[in-house]
Structure 1
Amino acid sequence: MSAAPSLGAALPALALLAIVALRLGVSRRSESNFRRLTLAMGAVGITSTVLAVLAPGFSLTASFGPMASIPVAGAVVSFSMFGGSLVSARLRKHGFMLKWPTVKTMVKRTLAGILMGLGALLIPGGNDTLLLIGLPAAAWQAALAYVLFVATLAALIVKLGSIAKAWS
């Protein structure tokens, strides 16, 4: 960006505010969960823009780097994430139940993981760099990657349908 940092970040921040306002206007008669999600994602976008201005070298994933040098950190983080998901499942209405996946499920999930990995290779820096740095910096490459990502997902949902359930 050739503009001064304050002006360069102000335009994407205003664009984010306009998108949040538009989504809130569209969701006025929708369920409250959609409005909460809109506000939460708007706050994430605006906060990342402010972070990009105030601390240009900040990266969420880079903050975890020093932790990786501690020998037991990986095991502790993995155990904590697994334990947190168990507690979260237990606190929800459906509880928690382990079951072995079918071969079909394993093949589908493996292929989905491969596709996700290929997608990550096509977006330099991954999703965090795309959403938290590329879009607020108004990089056309980030906008193009995001538009292609959304268009691909929309085409897949139209073609294959969606099994997503609404939040309750």
Structure 2
Amino acid sequence: MPDLLPIWVLVLVAALAFTVGFIVNRSGTCLVSAAHEVLYKRRAWRVGGLALAAMASSGLLLPLSWISSPTLVLAPVFSVELTLIIGAVLFGIGALVNDACLLGSLGRIGNGEVRLIVLPVGLGAGFLLTDGTRVGQRVEYPSVLSEPTPLSVATYCLIAWGFIGLLAAFMSAERYLGVRPGSGRRMVMIGAVAGLLFAIEPSWTLASLVGGMVTGSVGTVACIAALATLAGSVMSAQRFGTFKFEFPTAWSAARTLAAGGFMGAGSTLIPGGNDSLLLQSLPGASPSAFLALIVMMTAILLTMTVTRLVVGRISKP
């Protein structure tokens, strides 16, 4: 069923999604990259970037929800259940096998990684396999920040101060500690633009697009957003000379399909992928979103650590 939205809204969604794709080609919200930096470089600036993006999204979503309620409401908070933990582990492992999360995959397609074109097929398979296990009785309730109460306003002020402090730390690190120039500002832009997209239409993500295809309820907004994100990524790759066509092998395609299955199953059980959890649910002070992200990160780090130990032992004479 097509989305009954004004043309100007669809154009705005396309422009915002294009911007996200352009930026995510150079930087992104991928937990795998963040975990790799923690494990191998012993620093956590990418984790800080994720926090910066979440704060930027909060900075837009909270006041917009207060001003526009009931037209715009924060994402509901889901109860913490075993399925959420299992889903987060599955998603984390899938992202590691894929070497990219969902939004990052669109960015890397723009760089020429053709294998990632089959990722939606794996996602769809994962959705189908776990659709029957959805917990229809899962409890959901409004965010504690959904109304401009003293608690909400105080929380918003704390987020603002934290945002300013973290952005200042990034700017200092970019100057003196060798952190990639512009990293902090790019994460702010991703958080702000994606947050605005979630405010306009929560179902703009790749996971929503594939889920809609599986259930037969794919929306116009999700199609436009996915294509615009991909177009932005391609444009960025051309602009900065990072495009390199990589023809997929049978192994890389199979790995991507399997990874998509894990991520599709995980995002069904949680529910949500890392991008929606970080930039839509977490700004609403969702404990389940925070827990899911922590479990994802832990699963990725543990799997990376075990893999490194096993490979190290095998390679020893």
2:31 aligned with 1:31, yes or no? no
Q: CA RMSD in A?
A: 4.1
**Shift, 1:103, TM fit:** 1.8
Q: Relative to 1, partners in 2 of residues 1:92 and 1:132: Cα closer, same or farther, differing over 3 Å?
A: closer
Normalised by the size of structure 1, how large is the TM-score?
0.59
2:97 match: none
Q: Relative to 1, partners in 2 of residues 1:78 and 1:129: Cα closer, same or farther, differing over 3 Å?
A: closer
In terms of mean alpha carbon deviation, does 146-155 or 21-30 score higher? 21-30
1:4-153, aligned counterparts within 5 Å?
4=150, 5-24=152-171, 28-33=175-180, 35-45=181-191, 47=192, 58-62=199-203, 68-69=219-220, 74=223, 88-93=236-241, 96-97=244-245, 99=247, 101-153=248-300
CA contact (8 A) 2:204 2:226 kept: no
**Shift, 1:23, TM fit:** 4.6
In terms of mean alpha carbon deviation, does 147-156 or 36-45 score higher? 36-45
CA contact (8 A) 1:12 1:136 kept: no
Gapped runs of 5+ residues in structure 1?
Answer: 52-56, 162-168
CA–CA distance in 1 between the matches of 2:299 and 2:199?
30
Provide the secondary structure at the position in 2 that maps to 1:135: helix
CA contact (8 A) 1:9 1:137 kept: no
**Shift, 1:41, TM fit:** 1.4
**Shift, 1:123, TM fit:** 2.8
CA contact (8 A) 2:237 2:243 kept: yes
The percent identity for this pair of structures is: 24
CA–CA distance in 2 between the matches of 1:15 and 1:132?
16
Provide the secondary structure at the position in 2 that maps to 1:58: helix
In terms of mean alpha carbon deviation, does 18-27 or 125-134 score higher? 18-27
CA contact (8 A) 2:281 2:289 kept: yes
Gapped runs of 5+ residues in structure 2?
Answer: 1-143, 210-217, 309-317
**Shift, 1:140, TM fit:** 1.7
CA contact (8 A) 1:9 1:136 kept: no
Q: Relative to 1, partners in 2 of residues 1:108 and 1:142: Cα closer, same or farther, differing over 3 Å?
A: same
Q: Relative to 1, partners in 2 of residues 1:122 and 1:114: Cα closer, same or farther, differing over 3 Å?
A: same
Q: Match for 1:41: what amino acid?
A: M
Q: Relative to 1, partners in 2 of residues 1:43 and 1:81: Cα closer, same or farther, differing over 3 Å?
A: closer
2:25 match: none
Normalised by the size of structure 2, how large is the TM-score?
0.36
Provide the secondary structure at the position in 2 that maps to 1:124: coil
Larger RCO (CA under 8 A, 6+ residues apart): 2
Q: Relative to 1, partners in 2 of residues 1:92 and 1:137: Cα closer, same or farther, differing over 3 Å?
A: closer
CA–CA distance in 1 between the matches of 2:252 and 2:220?
35
Provide the secondary structure at the position in 1 that maps to 2:199: coil
Q: Relative to 1, partners in 2 of residues 1:112 and 1:11: Cα closer, same or farther, differing over 3 Å?
A: same
